[in-house]
Structure formats: structure tokens, C-alpha cells
Amino acid sequence: MVVMQQRPLALDDSRPIWHAMLIFLVPLMISNVLQSASATLNSIYLGRLIGVTRWRPVGVLPGRLLHDRVLHRDRDGSSVLIGQAYGARDEARLKAVAGTTLTLAIGSGSSSAAPAGSFCRPLLHLIGTPLDVFDDSLSYARVMFLGLPVLFVYLSYTTFVRGTGDSRTPLLALIVSTVLILVFTPALILGWIGLPRLGVASAAYANILANFIALLYLLFALAAEKNPLALDSSIIRHMKLEPRLLAALIRIGIPTGLQMVMVSLAEIAVISLVNRFGSSATAAYGAVNQMSRTSSFRRSRSGCASIFGAQSIGARRFDRLRKIARAGVSLNWIIGAVLIGIVYAFNDSILRLFITDAGVIATAHELLAITLWSYVLFGTSSVLSGLMRSSGTVLWPTLLSIISIWGVEVPVAYTLAPKPGCAGVWIAYPVRSLAASHSRRSTTTSSGGARSSRCCSRATRSNR
């Protein structure tokens, strides 16, 4: 576990930068796999214990998409500020960032959960959710939103710890959460030891309970190691909205939040298009989304580059930024190619774990064949975007992401869908990946190393 006395991993000159990044990236990738596995396990339980039709809403629920995106709004800003403070060896600022972010997480989680009962039904109607899964979708969405306050605090704390270069401790907490989900979900589906049978909502309730216990584990682990981020009186004293830190979080978080919302709205638009082809297409879409999250490890690549860049900027080691970019892109291509190859080789066996319908499996095979390879291209843009965000530069990554999705993916999907059918929707994904990868490389190359250093220096001074 990381303590302030240790040298930041991003600044370790005793090993190549790619080696340090790999040390950090491996637990982050395993965490990504476990997060996807927990969603997949819920689908397996629901598909096998309840029925294939009733689990279909879980993977593509619009509330789930908004939840997955919105929770990253404040985390991106806090990970940058935590990384910069840790790189500068500024423990007081580290605690101040943590306290302000926790206050913001509790407030935003509570405000997101409050209207859950009123807007879920209209949203499901808006996107044309199939009637045969509507009631289950509504039940799942309402429970999921009610658990957002706990989830926001838990994910905020994992972000803090990773910002210091420690990806191992959050992984251990996630293992606790995943194991508990393995137990809680079937227990609530089947009503073990007198528990109520909660149907599709069992998956949502299980996640809330597991996340709460994992948060307690994480807090106890940090306290036992006397980590500067342990939830003690010094952190609690900083649990207020400090104006300068709040301004920095907003400056980074609002564009990132806007990007996440636009991404979610785009996915909702695509889902509404997929829904026109029937619930089998919807189920295949959800299954492939879960598999692609595992193999693409997009969040891991972007997060690793962002944290290493932030620590280097905090220490004013701008010379390491180009090395981080080169190492991150190289690791993306090597690891991404291996993971995608494995999924292609065993995709039939993986799909059959939680899908029994032959038509759904065939549709999912088609989607994987068309889209999965392109995620390694999209990974290049993720690495470069993460490195740009590490300096607090969020405008260009946000604009490029929105353009690649709303200017490329959605129009292509709606243009091609009427002729080749559902395959036209799938083709939009690799087209988007190609556009995003090209635009990120062009923007980064044109900016120049000297200009990047000046921007990073200004960002560091303004954040202080």
C-alpha cells in the first residue's frame, strides 16, 4: 500500500516507464475484468434462475448507462488533483482534495437518487423499451438509482487511492465486492434462509450491499496502514466545499461530465434503434457490451495515463510526459491485441454461459465480429485523452469525443440501419473508433512538446 514517504510510481527512475505503468495497469485491468464479471454473473444468474427474457434489460438499461457515465464526472477531476498533490508531496492538499470530493460525491449521489421514482418510467417509454421486459427494467432502474450515494462514495475512495499510484488496494476491495455479489444475488433470487425473492431487482440490491461492505473494507485497510487518505479527523475537517478546489474540480469535471452525458445520450439513441429489431437484438447488444468492456480495458488505459501524467506534473517532471504517451500507446496495442484475440477465440463459450437462445447468440457473434477489433484503435485515443486530462486540459478531449460519437457514430448507425439492418448499427462502432483515433493523434502531434509543457505548468500553478 502506498504511503506519502514512498516515491510516486510515475517518478521511479530505477525502471523503464513502461514497466512502472504495467505494474499499475495489471491490477487496474483485473479490476476492470472483475467489474465486467460481476455484471456478467448477474446476467448468468438471472438468465439461468429466472429466464433469458427477464435478464435482457440489465445490460442495456438507460439508467445503467447514465449511472456508469455520471459517476465518472467528479472522479476524473479528483484523480488529477490527487495525482498532482501526491507528485508534489503535498499531504495537506491531498487531504483537502479528498474532503471536498467526498462532500461533492455525497451531495451528487443523493441528488441523483432522489428523483429515481419519477423519471425512470418516462425514460423507458422514450427509448421504446420492449413491453415484455418493461416492468423488470423499471424495477431494476429504481433500485439501482437508490444505491447511488453509497456507490459514489465507494468509487471516490478507490479513485483517491489509485491517484497515489496504488491500484492493488482498490483491487482487493473489488474482490470483496465481487465475491459478495456471487452470494447475495442468488440468495435474493431464490430466497435463501427466508430472504425475500426479489426477481430481477436482486442484482441491483446485491450490488448495493456488496459496495457498502467493500467501502468498509477499504476504509479499514487504509486506517490499518496509516495511509494519509484514511478517513480520520483530518479528512473529516476538510469535508466542505473549499472554493478553490471546488473551482478546479468543476473546471475539469463539467466538461468531462458533459462528455459522459453526451455519450450516454448517444448510447440511448443507439439502443432505441436496436430496440426496433426486437428483444433478441437488445439482449445481444447487452451481452456484447459486457464482453467488450472486459477486452477493451479502455478505462484502465485512460486512467493509467492520467494518473502517471498528473504525478509527473505535480513533481514538475514534464520530461516524462512523452515517455508516458509512448509507453501507454505501446501497452494498449500489445495487451489489447492479446485480450481481443482471446475473446474472439472463446466468444462462443463465453456467450453460452449466460445466453441459451440460438438467435441471440448468432446476433451477438455478428456484433463481435464487426466491432471488437476496433477497440484497440479507440484505446490510442483513450491514452492520449487521459494524458491531456492529467494537466487539467479537458476541452479538446471532450470536443473530440462528442464529435466522434454524435458526428460519426450516431449518424452512421441511423444511415446504415435501414438497409443492412442491425449490422448497420454495429458498423458505426469501428467507424467511430477510426475517427477518434485519427483525431486524437492529429491533435496531440500538432500541439508540440514545448506547448504541452507550458500548458501543464500553467495548470499546476492554477490548481494550487
Q: Are 120 and 256 in contact (CB under 8 A)?
A: no
Report the C-alpha gap between 44 and 449 in whole angstroms.
Answer: 48
More confident residue, 417 or 463: 417
In this predicted structure, the answer to whether residue 169 has a pLDDT above a threshold of 90 is yes
Supply the pLDDT for residue 350. 76
In this predicted model, what pLDDT tens digit does every residue of 344-399 receive, in sequence order? 888 788 777 767 777 788 888 888 888 888 888 888 888 888 888 888 777 778 88
In this predicted model, what pLDDT tens digit does every residue of 414-436 receive, in sequence order? 888 887 777 888 888 888 888 87
In this predicted structure, the answer to whether residue 408 has a pLDDT above a threshold of 80 is yes
- The two counts, helices (H) then strands (E), for the chain are 21, 0
Q: Are 151 and 209 in contact (CB under 8 A)?
A: no
CA–CA distances in Å: residue 89 to residues 7, 132, 176, 311: 9, 56, 31, 10
State the average pLDDT for the chain: 79
Contacts of 230 (CB under 8 A, 6+ apart): 219, 222, 223
User: Minimum mean pLDDT among 78-82, 130-134, 413-417: which range?
Assistant: 130-134
Supply the pLDDT for residue 309. 94
Supply the pLDDT for residue 270. 83
Report the C-alpha gap between 155 and 132 in whole angstroms.
Answer: 33
- How many Cβ atoms from other residues are within 10 Å of residue 198's Cβ? 18
DSSP string computed for 138-177: HHHHHHHHHTHHHHHHHHHHHHHHHHTT--HHHHHHHHHH
Cell 487531504: give the residue. 95
H helix intervals, 191-297 = 201-224, 233-237, 243-275, 279-296
At residue 315, what is the residue type? Answer: A
pTM recorded for the entire structure: 0.76
